[in-house]
Amino acid sequence: MEFAVYEPPAATLGKVPVVFFLSGLTCTWANVSEKAGVQRHAAERGLLLVMPDTSPRGLNLPGEEEDWDFGSGAGFYVNAVQEPWASHYQMFDYVTDELPQLVSAEFPVERDRFGVMGHSMGGHGALISALKRPDVFRTCSAFSPISAPSKVPWGQKAFRGYLGNDQALWAEYDACELVAESTLDAPVLVDQGELDPFLEDQLQPHRLEAAFQLAGKSIEVRLQSGYDHSYYFVSTFIAEHLARHAQEL
């Protein structure tokens, strides 16, 4: 697994907080590091950024490269139980356990001040990581997240392939199902473009907002007029997200 790290100037003076950015379908760590303009804002806020890849690469598994929305580049941040994926596609443990331990050992960071954010599939990943592991991630935000993966085609395809047909196992990786039992107490910020072509069929933020409200959890879902699903959208609002993380951390 490859990942990118941005160290802010503040890291030369002492330990700093960390924000993980989880990317979406087809992406690598390079998308956010090259397209989002995120480094300047992280430098201003004294945040170290960790940008993982979206799946293992080059395993030559059957079907690994057949679909853009499953397999390589599409790990969906779950721990696969179906073969041939189970031996390698343990993305939830990688993001919430292995990588935080590695970053803590190798970089000047404050282990109790980690946040997580993401885009699209990575927005889903950020939500479930924070909801399932609030002991690791104290803050959370998302751009255009796949809010209810159990209910939409992208999520159903991935869950069926990685997890099988057990709906109870699907619920363990669906933010709308997790929020009621989560102990995450930080407010969650979600930005969603109103012109996003995937809004109605794949993302469905209204389900997420309703689930949070029903659970008595704090969430702000902002529908941004004129914006789509692209990194132009992400780059426009990412400074506000990092400011929220910095303040809460």
Whole-angstrom distance, CA of residue 194 vs CA of residue 202: 13
Q: Which residues pair with 70 in a beta bridge?
A: 67
Report how far apart, in Å, the C-alpha atoms of 66 and of each of 61, 82, 84 are: 10, 17, 14
For residue 88, which phi and psi values (nearest 5 degrees)?
A: -130, -40
User: End-to-end distance of the chain based on CA atoms, in angstroms?
Assistant: 27
Tokens of 152: 């939409």
Instruction: Show which residues are catalytic.
Output: 120, 196, 229
Tokens of 66: 């057949």
Q: Is 101 helix (H, G, I), strand (E, B) or coil?
A: helix
Whole-angstrom distance, CA of residue 189 vs CA of residue 51: 19
Task: Give the H/E segment covering residue 48.
Answer: strand 48-52
Residue type, 238: I
Listed in sequence order, the DSSP H helices in the chain are 30-35, 38-45, 91-93, 99-106, 121-132, 153-163, 167-171, 175-178, 205-215, 231-248
Tokens of 118: 């993401």
